[in-house]
């Protein structure tokens, strides 16, 4: 996963990332939500560390790199209405 601030080879600072997370409220939420989290630590293996406090009560569907705008999601399709006259 890409990180916004790359870790220098001679630095002890961890890499940080901004991600967009898609999730449902647990245990059986029907509406998908999304949230952007910033300044998350990236582990040495490249995984973004999502805080347990955020995970609690959610079923995470996807973690996307960067700040994403969800244009359309399942169940949110926009239907055009045709007037028959």
Q: What is the pLDDT of residues 21-30, one digit of tens each?
A: 999 988 887 8
pLDDT at 79 over 60: no
pLDDT-wise least confident of 1-5, 8-12, 37-41, 49-53: 1-5
Q: What is the 3-state secondary structure (H, E, C) of the chain?
A: CCCCECCCCCCCCCEEEEEEEEEEECCCCCCCEEEEEEEEEECCCCCECCCHHHHCCEEEEEEEECCCCCCCCCCCCCCCCCCCC
Model confidence band, residue 75 (pLDDT cutoffs 50, 70, 90):
low
What global pTM score does this model have? 0.69
Q: What is the pLDDT of residues 40-74, one digit of tens each?
A: 999 999 999 999 999 999 999 999 999 998 887 76
Identify the domain containing residue 72 by its residue range. 1-85
Number of domains within the chain: 1
């Amino acid at each position: 996963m890409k990180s916004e601030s790359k870790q220098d080879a001679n630095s002890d600072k961890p890499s940080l990332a901004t991600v967009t997370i898609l999730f449902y409220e647990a245990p059986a939420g029907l509406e998908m939500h999304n949230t952007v989290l910033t300044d998350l630590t990236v582990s040495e293996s490249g995984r973004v560390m999502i805080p347990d406090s955020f995970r609690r009560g959610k079923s995470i569907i996807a973690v996307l790199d960067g700040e994403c705008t969800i244009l359309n999601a399942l169940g949110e399709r926009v239907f055009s209405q045709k007037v028959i006259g």
